[in-house]
């Protein structure tokens, strides 16, 4: 059984002005996401600035999220690392914290071979009982899980159940679906390709867009899954200008700027990320308002 179907939010990690994690704001964001129909919370991922959280902060964000959500919807914890030992320990601690699943990105910078990737995921999977979603985003990591490797892991490792596919190549998605006979839980990692991805057999999206439009994103995916493909496609097309604006600089720079424009006060970004360029803030603000998001002031 899939961890979730529909739209999961790749949630930002809110910060105070002094760059400490803002746990009170985190609670507010979680409640709003649940109220607006988000199907799963994905915490401490790329959008959550996991790469600049200390291990202690990383685990505390997971613990707080699990506690606040309290089993109302699944919580999937990002526990990937470019060090296998660290990924194993983060995954073990996330299980102890009560997470419902794990999102494990390919090791970044190391540029592991396919054999290395196999060993990495097997070592993580052997140390936990939770279902694991592999996260394939070669544009960031410099490392791609080939379809044959993913299919072999799915066949041979019981708790490797799916993939967040941010390869951006529908041909890759189709090849992986063919290799796994359509039995692998595939989630789009590209907000601009959700409906085409679902048409390839995907069951949902792990979404940046959901941070600013959770109800819309949930309804778009569920429209497609429930057979209303025409409406789902219309919603995808409507969202494209906003999605483009949310990725006009590297994620999560624009989405944090967008949430601050909305009055969420999710705070600044940790270095080496920098605040959004003023001209891009104007473009983002325009796209948000044209989409139908009301901005205070």
DSSP summary character for residue 201: T
**pTM for the structure as a whole:** 0.97
Taking each continuous run of H as one helix and of E as one strand, the counts in the chain are 12, 8
Phi, psi of 274 (to 5 degrees): -125, 165
- Positions annotated as catalytic residues are 135, 164
Q: Output DSSP code: residue 110.
A: S
CA-based angle 35:101:144, to the nearest 5?
110
pLDDT of residue 62: 98
Say how many C-beta atoms besides its own lie within 10 A of residue 109's C-beta.
9
The residues of the chain scoring below 70 in pLDDT are none
The strand pair at 132-136 and 75-78 is best described as: unpaired
Going from the N-terminus, what domains does the chain have, and what CATH number goes with each? 6-228 (3.20.20.70)
CA–CA gap between residue 96 and residue 106 (Å, rounded) = 22
Radius of gyration of the chain (CA): 18
pLDDT at 1: 78
Q: 221 phi and psi, to 5 degrees? A: -65, -45
Sign of CA dihedral 159, 63, 56, 27: positive
């Amino acid at each position: 059984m899939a961890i979730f179907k529909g739209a999961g939010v790749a949630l930002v990690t809110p910060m105070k002005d002094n760059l400490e994690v803002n746990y009170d704001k985190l609670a507010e964001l979680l409640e709003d996401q649940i109220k607006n129909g988000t199907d799963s919370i994905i915490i401490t991922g790329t959008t959550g600035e996991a790469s600049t959280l200390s291990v202690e902060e990383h685990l505390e964000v997971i613990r707080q999220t699990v506690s606040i959500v309290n089993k109302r919807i699944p919580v999937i914890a990002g526990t990937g690392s470019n060090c296998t030992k660290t990924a194993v320990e983060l995954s073990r601690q996330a299980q102890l914290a009560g997470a419902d699943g794990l999102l494990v990105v390919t090791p970044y910078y190391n540029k592991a071979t396919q054999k290395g990737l196999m060993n990495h995921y097997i070592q993580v999977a052997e140390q936990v009982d939770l279902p694991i979603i592999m996260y394939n985003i070669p544009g960031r990591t410099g490392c791609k899980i080939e379809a044959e490797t993913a299919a072999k892991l799915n066949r041979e490792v019981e708790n490797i159940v799916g993939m967040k596919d941010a390869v951006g190549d529908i041909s890759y998605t189709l090849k992986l679906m063919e290799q796994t006979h359509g039995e692998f839980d595939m989630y789009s990692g590209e907000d601009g390709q959700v409906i085409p991805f679902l048409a390839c057999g995907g069951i949902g999206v792990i979404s940046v867009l959901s941070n600013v439009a959770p109800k819309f994103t949930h309804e778009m995916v569920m429209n497609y899954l429930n057979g209303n493909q025409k409406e789902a496609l219309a919603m995808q097309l409507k969202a494209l200008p906003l999605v483009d604006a949310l990725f006009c600089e590297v994620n999560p720079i624009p989405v944090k700027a967008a949430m601050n424009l909305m009055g969420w006060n999710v705070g600044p970004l940790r270095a080496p990320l920098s605040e959004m360029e003023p001209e891009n803030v104007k473009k983002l603000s325009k796209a948000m308002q044209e989409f139908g998001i009301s901005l205070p002031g």
